[in-house]
Amino acid sequence: MYVCPDCKGQLRDWHCKNCGVTFGERSGVRELLSREARFASAPVIGGVYDDIYARRSQVWEDQGRTPEFIAYFTDLAATCSAGRLLEIGCGEGFLLEQLRAAEKFAIDVSAEALRRTQARTGARVSVALAERLPFADHAFDLIVSVGVMEHFLDDRAATAEIWRVLKDGGWYLALIHVQRTTRDKALQKLREYVYPHFRPLALLRWVGGKLHRPIQQPIQNDYTTESARILLEAQGFEVVRIISRSSEPAAPLVGPHVIIYVGRRRTALARAA
């Protein structure tokens, strides 16, 4: 199941015969990172997220990862597949815990997050990059990423790798945050905490988080709704559905900047054409 992230040779006892590399662990979690120089920043980025998760729990709830959203996304994923599943950028595993799948795998750059995910879900986890996935071709029926595409080091390489490890006809659910103006951001917070439902305690928690060691996420790819669709299609996906507040008002998305793409892997022949 696991392969060398660079040469894609099968690993035996976490050793790649082709490359002569044995992959070790970081903080008790298997580390399967690329050795390419252009991805040398991955451990540093992982350390940033390790610090975030060491200090907080429910880290992304104020960015829309509410129980209502998790239930909605879980049902959406179930309409695609209940087979072998990979979550890219799983965080603490709150979503993965609810997703229904025959087998669950997860990657993240944070070993701290993966320890929590493994304890919560029992999934097979590893520190790895989407740009160099350590899995065999056609390994998964469904891949999900929530708020992760914006942080890929190389979004084209990552999307091509996701295509590679999906089965023909397999599904990719990707949630992204598209570009927003400062006014859009302010209006979103007003809707979340002030009007139409005043939530003073939630507002105080959010303000406190911004004042005391605020989260600063490294790496940012800016997308529009259209540019993200073009990226997915260029790497071999058929985008069969785009979910937003405007297209599906009942979807529990935190704001108009949140978009879910439902993509399906075209065959290699169709992709070449």
44: domain CATH number is 3.40.50.150
Which among 163, 118, 147 has a CA at the least distance from the CA of 223? 147
Using the CB atoms, write b or e for 4-40: b if 16+ within 10 Å: bbbebeebeebebeeeebebeebeebbbbbbeeeebe
- pLDDT tens-digit map of 95-114: 999 999 999 999 999 999 99
> What's the sign of the alpha-carbon dihedral 130, 132, 135, 140?
positive
The answer to the question of residue 191 being in a domain is no
Percent of all residues in the chain with a pLDDT value above 90, rounded to a whole number: 72
- Residue range 25-44: average pLDDT? 94
Does residue 156 sit within a domain? yes
d(CA 128, CA 106): 9
Please indicate, yes or no, if residue 198 is contained in any of the structural domains: no
| 44 falls within a domain | yes
- Residue 108 sits in which domain range? 40-180+214-272
In a domain, 206, yes or no: no
Which residue is associated with the tokens 């023909």?
A: 168
What's the structural domain count of the chain? Answer: 1
Q: At what angle do helices 111-121 and 42-55 cross, to 10 degrees?
A: 60
Cβ count near 127 (within 10 Å): 24
210 pLDDT above the threshold of 80? no
Instruction: For residue 2, give the DSSP letter.
Output: B
Looking at per-residue confidence, does 54 or 238 come out higher?
Answer: 238
Is 238 within a domain? yes
**Residue 124 placed within a domain:** yes
Q: Which amino acid is at 97?
A: E
| 6 falls within a domain | no
The answer, yes or no, to whether residue 153 has pLDDT greater than 90, is: yes
- pTM for the model stands at 0.85
Element (H, E) at 160: helix 155-165
